[in-house]
Amino acid sequence: MDNAGAIFPERQVGPDGIESTLATLVVGPFVLVGELLPLLPADPGSQVIAVTSGGMYTQRLPLDDLEFATGDYDGARAYARAKRAQTALMREWARRFARSGIRFNAMHPGWPTPLASRSPCRASIA
């Protein structure tokens, strides 16, 4: 299960050259799951679960600017975009590995959580 998350008030780029929100929520888990994929078919019932956020519904996924390099950066919007990318990635893995027996799922932890109860995303979804 992947439950990494962070909201940065200003756009940051990590030492790997990737915007920090995308790196934390999408790229890091992608690499981790990619390394685990060869092992998962050996265990019947293997699953990959991404803990995502309903906040993703507040943003489209701009494929031409995944790292929020253009426009006015907003940490909550970057988080929502990354969570949408995370969910799209789960869907794509489920498609590609449909015959492997591995299940890929994305789930929302539910409301309320301490952070979510103060989130502008909650007002957009509730």
pLDDT higher than 50, residue 126: no
| Catalytic residue check, 57 | no
- CA distance to 32, 54, 118, 119, 121, per residue, from 111 (Å): 28, 9, 11, 11, 11
User: Does pTM top 0.85 for this prediction?
Assistant: no
Question: Per-domain residue ranges for the chain?
Answer: 20-125
φ and ψ of 93, to 5 deg? -60, -40
Superfamily the domain 20-125 falls into: NAD(P)-binding Rossmann-like Domain (3.40.50.720)
Catalytic residue among 79, 80, 104, 116: 79
Report pLDDT digits (tens) over 14-31: 999 999 999 999 999 999
